[in-house]
Amino acid sequence: MSALNPADAVLLERLSAALGPGGVVPAEPRYLEEPRGRFAGRAAAVLRPASTEAVAAAVAICAEARTGIIPYSGGTGLVGGQVMGEGPLPVVLSFERMNRIRDVDLADGVMIVEAGCVLADVHAAAAAAGRVFPLTLASEGSARIGGLLGTNAGGVNVLRYGNARDLCLGVEAVMADGSVMHGLRRVAKDNMGYDLRHLLIGSEGTLGLITAASLRLHPRPGETATAWAAVTSPDAALALLNALRDALGGTISAFELIGVEGLAFLAEKMPSVPQPPAMGTDWRVLVEAADAAGAGTRARLEAALMAGLEAGGVAEVLVAQSEAQRAVFWGVRETIPEANRLVGAISSHDISVPPARIGEFVARGAPLVARFDPELRINCFGHLGDGNLHYNVFPPQGRSRALYDSLRAPVKRAVYDLVHELGGSVGAEHGVGRLKVEDLVRYGDPAMVAAMRAIKAALDPQGVLNPGAVLA
C-alpha cells in the first residue's frame, strides 16, 4: 500500500471524462460504512460505471496512476472488505448501475447477469422463467451478485446446492491492468488449463473485478416441507440430519441449528416477530426438504421426524401445515441476526467446524467464554450441514457491549484457537476482508499463504485492487 498514490483532482477529472455523466459522484456515507459499524472508510469519490468497458477504462486509469480501487457491491459484508480506513486515499467503484440480466437460457439452464444485480431480482427473474437460483440469505434484498461471488457466499441452501462458486459456470472480469477476461461459459466441463473463475470467486476483488456471471438455474421444486424440531443437543441434531438424509436423500435443502439464546434475543428486542410454540430443550433445528410434485415430501419428512422422536434425541416436532406457517418458521431464522445487532455483540465469530465435532466445540466453547465472565451470553446458530456456525458472545442482559471492549480480542482468540484445534476455519461465510487479515496469517497454512501472495503479485503487481483486503 505504501507504493500507491492518493486519488487527486487530476485523476478524478480523467475518470469523469471516461465514465460520463453520473459516472463519478461524491463519496456519500453509505459507501463508507459497513453494517455493524466496526469500520469507517475513506474515498476521494465513488465511480459508478454502467458497463464492463467503463469498468475497464476506470481500472486502466487508476492502474496508470497507481491509485487504489475499493470494489463496492451491496455493502452487506461483515469483515470490512468494502471499506478502507487507512492508506493513500482510494476511489470506491460501485457496481450499482451494472444491474442488467443479459440472458435467461432454459435450454442451457443458465442466467447471465451483471455484477450489480440484486439477489432478490435474480430470484424473481428465475421464478418468472419457472426455475430457481438457490443461493438464499437474509440480505438478498440488498446483496449483489458481484459481492456474493467475490466472497463465495453460502447461505441456507449450501447443504443441497453448494456455495456461490458451485452455482457459477463462468465470470467476466476486469483485471488489474484494465484488460477484460471474457469467461462467461455455459458449460459445466471446461478443463482448458487453470480455472480462473474459481480463482476470482472468493478473492474479494483483490485479483480482478467480476463484472458479470453465468449462473446455474435449477428446477423449481413442486412441493416443499418445512419443520421445526426441538433436539437435546447439537450431537442429537447431527444424528437427526444424518437420519433424514438416509430417509429423504438429496432432497434436504436446509438444516439450521438454533440455540434458545437467539430466541430469547428475538423476544427481547423484536417481540413482534412471531415464534413457534416454546419447546423444552436448549436447541432447535429448522429443516426443509423439497422435491417434485407428487413425491409425498411432507409425509416422508413427518415419518422421518417421528422416527427421530422414537429413537430419542428429538423432543418435539412441528411440521408447517401452510405457506404462512413456513414463513413464520423462516422469519425466526432470518431475523435472529437483526436481534443480535440490537443486543450488541462483544465478539462475533463466523466459523466452520467439521460437523462431527460441532458438539465438542459447543461443549468446550462455553467454559472458555465463561472464564472471561460467567455472565456472558452466547448465541450459537448456523448451518449444521456444512458446519458453519455463527458463534457470538454478548454482554449480560442490561449491559452495553462498550463495557466489554477489552474482552473482544481475547475472546476471539480463545474461540479461534479452539476452532483451529478442531480442524475448522475462522473465516467461513463472510471471507477475510480487513478484519481477518492477521487471522489468515496466524491460522492459515504457511505454504498456502505464500502461494496467495505470489498469485496477488502476479495478477495485481501494483496492489491497486482492494488494497489491504485479504493480504496486508
Q: Helices 358-370 and 408-421 meet at what angle, rounded to 10?
A: 150
Residue range 428-432: mean pLDDT, rounded:
89
Question: Of 137, 312, 300, 151, which is closest to residue 236 (Cα–Cα)?
Answer: 312
Instruction: Give the model's pLDDT for residue 261.
Output: 96
Amino acid making up residue 424:
G
pLDDT tens digits, one per residue of 326-366: 999 999 999 999 999 999 999 999 999 999 999 999 999 99
Instruction: Give the model's pLDDT for residue 104.
Output: 97
Which residues partner with 231 through β-bridges? 283, 314
- 16-43 as b/e, with b when 16 or more CB fall inside 10 Å? bebbeeebbeebeeebbbbeeeebebbb
Instruction: Give the model's pLDDT for residue 38.
Output: 76
pLDDT tens digits, one per residue of 294-328: 999 999 999 999 999 999 999 999 999 999 999 99
Cα dihedral 346, 347, 353, 358, rounded to 10, equals: -10
Residue range 122-143: mean pLDDT, rounded:
94
Measured between alpha carbons, how far is 267 from 263 in angstroms, rounded to an integer? 6
pLDDT tens digits, one per residue of 395-408: 999 899 999 999 99
Count helices and strands (H / E) in the chain. 14, 18
Instruction: Give the model's pLDDT for residue 36.
Output: 78
Residue range 60-79: mean pLDDT, rounded:
95
Residue range 195-216: mean pLDDT, rounded:
97
Q: What is the pTM of this model?
A: 0.93
Considering the chain, what is the average pLDDT of its residues? 95
How far does Cα 294 stand from its chain's mean position?
Answer: 34
How many other CB atoms are found less than 10 A from the CB of residue 465? 27
pLDDT tens digits, one per residue of 371-390: 999 999 999 999 998 999 99
Place of cell 450459537: 380
Residue 443 backbone phi and psi in degrees, to 5: -105, -15
Count CA within 13 A, CB hemisphere, residue 197: 26
